[in-house]
DNA sequence: GGCAGTCTGGTAAGCGCTTACCCTGTTCGT
DNA sequence: ACGAACAGGGTAAGCGCTTACCAGACTGCC
């Protein structure tokens, strides 16, 4: 059973020292053409593959970036991950993907695991729960990561500390635009559906919604705010429950994200309500599913992929000017969102005609 | 600027040797309660985090598994990745995810990168192009990987060699079932749409389709076989082209995968053809999008997540009985597929009534 | 009381690579 | 013609961890 070849084997076969082999391979030091050729021959003859662990241990960066997301099959996260992966691959880095399934403790556990792996950067994606203790834990790990030359970047979540860079998007603004669009179409009673409580993402969206209402002097009716989850299931069940309580007192629903909107579609369909004739719907995220729905869903677009790319760039840029990693005021980034008009919003129906 | 703490620092602070610290941390050797406590105190005081690279270099497994997929935002791959991630996480392993975007050369490049990383296992997902040279390259890397104690597993693709384990699914069987269902509904002229040529996945599906036709004595009409791609775009454009050539000569379309079916839906919609009244449609994969479509798409379910899990288990099981890694006849796995009936198939229309 | 067996813990040899430091020739500039 | 600068290459000291091997201190048993 062949043992894996080491640099020493290659060196022996090529009749040079292991230092020369190392130099020829990393190409950061002059090596004579002839020597290089002999080394390359030896490498392919032995099927030599450099050992990344040894390399990292010797002080080189690991060329891996970690990314912590909720759920890989959720398009929201998948697109961010794609951006991260692309940008990472562009610089020859590999991606360590971790899924928390929404468990904040997992978040911390993965942070530790990625620290063990000495990932060049770790990117934490998605809304954060509002919890002082948890935030503290994150900050501590951020510091600790930085002490090893790695960088923690928040992506799509506000930074809990000056020291942690973040790539955000105009979450409240998108919600404002969506609600404003509904208002412009004459809707005054809008059901706000979905979004876990105490999650920054939901809170920001709800805030934007309320701000839009306020800007037109529409009062918020607590009954029209139905928080709870970000899933299709939640959208379906909750809306069904609300609908079961009698004729809808609203003319539109603002689903806190597209998944919830999908659930809302089902509930509306079952209740025999037409979109947008009877009820208008807007979503948030602009996932591919939004344009698959019939009628196609009007929703807020987030530059998810770009966010992922930016996050990596932020981390890697810092990594380059190594000495500055400590002094640089983390250049936060905030990207814009915009409403994508499709077919799920119509004029508000006259009051029980 | 704090330097990262090493095991030696912890040892010094706890007044023991580094060996004892190592033992206390990995817990595979008796360490006195009191000593252990002192060590733990030192660890948390220093914020010590073990260095995975050093550990790996010292001979322990890296506890990472690599997975090579086409595209992370494609649900097909995302679900497999999810299974892999889950199973990996269950054994405390991290996942290195690589996306080839369909480029076979990338496949090889990532295989090398994962080899460098000494991943405990690497899982290659999705159809393979039919190319002797490429297959040879894969086999070579599989061997080389095994020489380092790692294992290459194929997932959703047939193994090119006895030495490489694979988790497959009954691809042809699913296609057979789909076509058979169409035949049962009276369809005789079925447009087979999509699937890149020379890709094992497409070839197997087409084979199942033809087999079903043959079993009912229906001849295959080459004009009704429209190969080319697996994307939504392809499905749309190609079907549009076909439709532009005059009244459809078929009563059903078998989309080689759900994405193609989505494109087909668009083309049909634009052409004013109703599903399933005018044209029936079946897809393949049973992605979440299939049930979002209206009418909901009848399609073939593949246990994607389970495949991912199995792949990891296959690799890890072998890893356990280390000595056998060489002798064990790779226990291939083949999972079943089944047709999911929804609303996109109806009885064949009478011939131009 | 002597000795085998059990607990604990230390010593030190690697794991495979990079790179600071050193050395030998060449090649130039002036 | 001579020192400087550079190309090319070797030596060996780590990087941080695990673990084989060894040793002292008890324990209990005959």
From B50, B72, B293, residue closest to A78, measured CB to CB: B72
Q: What is the pLDDT of residues B102-127, one digit of tens each?
A: 999 999 999 999 999 999 999 999 88
Q: Is the pLDDT reported for residue A353 higher than 60? A: no
- Positive/negative CA dihedral, B318, B324, B325, B329: negative
What pLDDT score does A1 carry?
56
Helix A18-26 and helix A33-46: axis angle, to 10°?
90
Q: How far apart are CA A89 and CA A82, in angstroms?
A: 10
Tell me the average pLDDT across A15-35. Answer: 92
What pLDDT score does A350 carry?
65
> What are the tokens at A84?
């991260």
Residues 222-261 of chain A with CB under 8 A from chain B are none
Q: If residue A328 lies in a helix (H) or strand (E), which one and from where to where? A: none
Q: Mean pLDDT, chain A, as a whole number?
A: 92
Q: Is the Cβ atom of A16 within 7 Å of strand D at any atom?
A: yes
- Lowest-confidence region among A197-211, B55-69, B312-326: B312-326
Q: If residue A253 lies in a helix (H) or strand (E), which one and from where to where? A: strand A252-255
Q: What is the pLDDT of residues A200-238, one digit of tens each?
A: 999 999 999 999 999 999 999 999 999 999 999 999 999
From A50, A95, A262, residue closest to B116, measured CB to CB: A50
Q: Is the pLDDT reported for residue B324 higher than 80? A: no
Cross-chain residue pair B89–A99, CB shorter than 8 Å: yes
Best mutation target among A26, A54, A97 (most B Cβ atoms within 10 Å) is A97
| Residues of B with Cβ-Cβ distance to A95 under 8 angstroms | 96-98
What pLDDT score does B318 carry?
57
User: Please, which pLDDT band fits residue B325 given cuts at 50, 70 and 90?
Assistant: very low
Residues 39-68 of chain A with CB under 8 A from chain B are 47, 49-54, 56-57, 62, 64
- Lowest-confidence region among B19-33, B70-84, B273-287, B292-306: B19-33
Q: Is the pLDDT reported for residue B352 higher than 50? A: no
Tell me the average pLDDT across A36-46. Answer: 95
Q: How far apart are CA B318 and CA B22, in angstroms?
A: 27
> Between β-strands A338-340 and A299-301, what pairing exists: parallel, antiparallel or unpaired?
antiparallel
Q: Is the Cβ atom of B32 within 7 Å of strand C at any atom?
A: yes
Q: Is the pLDDT reported for residue B323 higher than 60? A: no
Q: How many CB pairs under 8 A join A and B?
A: 130
Q: Is the pLDDT reported for residue B328 higher than 50? A: no
Cross-chain residue pair A116–B51, CB shorter than 8 Å: yes
- Lowest-confidence region among A63-67, A310-314, B26-30: B26-30
Cross-chain residue pair B51–A64, CB shorter than 8 Å: no
What pLDDT score does A4 carry?
84
What pLDDT score does A15 carry?
94
| Residues of A with Cβ-Cβ distance to B288 under 8 angstroms | 289
Q: How far apart are CA A100 and CA A69, in angstroms?
A: 6
| Residues of B with Cβ-Cβ distance to A147 under 8 angstroms | 1-4, 47
- Lowest-confidence region among A271-280, B140-149, B183-192: B140-149
> What are the tokens at B156?
């959703």
Residues 107-166 of chain B with CB under 8 A from chain A are 112-118, 140, 144, 147-148
Q: How far apart are CA B202 and CA B256, in angstroms?
A: 7
Cross-chain residue pair A53–B56, CB shorter than 8 Å: yes
Q: Is the pLDDT reported for residue B286 higher than 70? A: yes
Residues 177-216 of chain B with CB under 8 A from chain A are none
User: Please, which pLDDT band fits residue B147 given cuts at 50, 70 and 90?
Assistant: confident
Q: How far apart are CA A55 and CA A53, in angstroms?
A: 5
Nearest chain B CA: its distance from A279 CA (Å): 19
| Residues of B with Cβ-Cβ distance to A294 under 8 angstroms | 294
Return the number of other C-beta atoms located less than 10 Å from residue A231's C-beta: 18
Per-residue CA distances from B28 to A87, A164, B13, B24 (Å): 40, 37, 22, 8
D6 C1' closest Cα residue: A30
Q: Does B81 or B318 have the greater pLDDT score?
A: B81
Question: Using the CA of B57, which nucleotide's C1' is the nearest one?
Answer: C15
Give the long-range contacts of residues B45-50, CB within 8 A, separation 24 or more: B45/B13, B46/B5, B46/B9, B46/B10, B46/B13, B47/A144, B47/A147, B47/B5, B48/B5, B48/B6, B48/B7, B48/B9, B48/B10, B49/A112, B49/A115, B49/A116, B49/A144, B49/A148, B49/B4, B49/B5, B50/A116, B50/B7, B50/B25
Per-residue CA distances from B111 to B84, B121, B335 (Å): 17, 11, 25
Q: Is the pLDDT reported for residue A319 higher than 80? A: no
What pLDDT score does A330 carry?
55
Q: What is the pLDDT of residues B224-276, one digit of tens each?
A: 999 999 999 999 999 999 999 988 899 999 999 999 999 999 999 999 999 99
Tell me the average pLDDT across A142-160. Answer: 92
Q: What is the pLDDT of residues A322-333, one digit of tens each?
A: 444 444 445 789
C19 C1' closest Cα residue: A19
With contact defined as beta carbons under 8 Å apart, do A156 and A201 qualify? Answer: yes
Best mutation target among A73, A81, A261 (most B Cβ atoms within 10 Å) is A73
Best mutation target among B52, B261, B274 (most A Cβ atoms within 10 Å) is B52
Q: Is the pLDDT reported for residue B319 higher than 90? A: no
Cross-chain residue pair A78–B89, CB shorter than 8 Å: no
What pLDDT score does A128 carry?
87
Cross-chain residue pair A85–B94, CB shorter than 8 Å: no
Task: Report the percent of chain A where pLDDT is more than 70.
Answer: 95
Q: Is the pLDDT reported for residue A136 higher than 60? A: yes
Nearest chain A CA: its distance from B93 CA (Å): 9
Tell me the average pLDDT across A310-331. Answer: 63
- Find, among A228, A167, A166, the residue nearest to A192 by Cα: A228
What pLDDT score does A28 carry?
85
Q: If residue A65 lies in a helix (H) or strand (E), which one and from where to where? A: strand A64-69
Q: What is the pLDDT of residues A104-123, one digit of tens each?
A: 999 999 999 999 999 999 99
Q: Is the Cβ atom of B57 within 7 Å of strand D at any atom?
A: yes
Q: Is the pLDDT reported for residue A127 higher than 80? A: yes
Tokens 């990262």, residue? B4
Q: What is the pLDDT of residues A167-204, one digit of tens each?
A: 999 999 999 999 999 999 999 999 999 999 999 999 99
Q: Is the pLDDT reported for residue B204 higher than 90? A: yes
Q: What is the pLDDT of residues A238-283, one digit of tens each?
A: 999 999 998 889 999 999 999 999 999 999 999 999 999 999 999 9
Q: Is the Cβ atom of B59 within 7 Å of strand D at any atom?
A: yes
Q: Is the Cβ atom of B329 within 7 Å of strand C at any atom?
A: no
Coil/strand/helix, residue B335: strand
Name the closest residue on chain A to residue B5, using Cα atoms: A148
What pLDDT score does B317 carry?
73
Q: Mean pLDDT, chain B, as a whole number?
A: 92
With contact defined as beta carbons under 8 Å apart, do B312 and B151 qualify? Answer: no
Task: Report the percent of chain A where pLDDT is more than 90.
Answer: 86
Residues 64-93 of chain A with CB under 8 A from chain B are 64, 71-73, 75, 78-79, 81-82, 85-86, 89
């Amino acid at each position: 059973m062949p043992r894996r070849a080491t640099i020493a084997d290659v060196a022996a076969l090529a009749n040079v020292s292991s230092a020369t082999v190392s130099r020829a391979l990393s190409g950061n030091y002059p090596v004579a053409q002839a020597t290089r050729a002999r080394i390359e021959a030896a490498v392919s003859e032995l099927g030599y593959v450099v050992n990344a662990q040894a390399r990292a241990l010797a002080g080189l960066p690991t060329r891996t970036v970690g990314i912590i997301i909720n759920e890989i099959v959720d398009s929201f996260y998948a697109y961010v991950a794609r951006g991260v992966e692309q940008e990472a691959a562009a610089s020859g880095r590999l991606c360590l993907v971790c899924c928390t399934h929404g468990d904040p403790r997992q978040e911390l556990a993965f942070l530790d695991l990625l620290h063990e792996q000495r990932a060049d950067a770790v990117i934490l994606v998605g809304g954060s729960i509002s919890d002082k203790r948890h935030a503290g834990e994150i900050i501590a790990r951020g510091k600790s990561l930085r002490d090893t030359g790695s960088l923690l970047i928040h992506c799509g979540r506000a930074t809990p500390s000056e020291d942690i860079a973040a790539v955000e998007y105009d979450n409240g603004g998108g919600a404002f635009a969506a609600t404003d669009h509904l208002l412009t179409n004459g809707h005054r009673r809008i059901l706000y559906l979905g979004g876990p409580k105490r999650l920054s993402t939901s809170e920001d969206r709800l805030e934007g919604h309320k701000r839009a209402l306020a800007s037109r002097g529409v009062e918020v009716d607590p009954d029209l705010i139905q928080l709870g989850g970000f899933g299709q299931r939640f959208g379906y069940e909750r809306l069904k429950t609300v609908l079961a309580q009698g004729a809808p007192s609203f003319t539109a629903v603002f689903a806190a994200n597209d998944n919830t909107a999908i659930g809302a579609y089902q509930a509306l369909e079952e209740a025999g309500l037409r979109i947008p004739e009877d009820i208008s719907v807007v979503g948030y995220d602009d996932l591919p599913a939004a344009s698959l729905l019939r009628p196609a869903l009007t929703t807020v677009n987030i530059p998810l992929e770009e966010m992922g790319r930016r996050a990596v760039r932020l981390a890697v840029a810092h990594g380059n000017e190594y000495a500055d990693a400590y002094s640089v005021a983390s250049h936060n980034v905030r990207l814009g969102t915009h409403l994508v008009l499709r077919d799920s919003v119509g004029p508000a129906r006259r009051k029980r005609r």
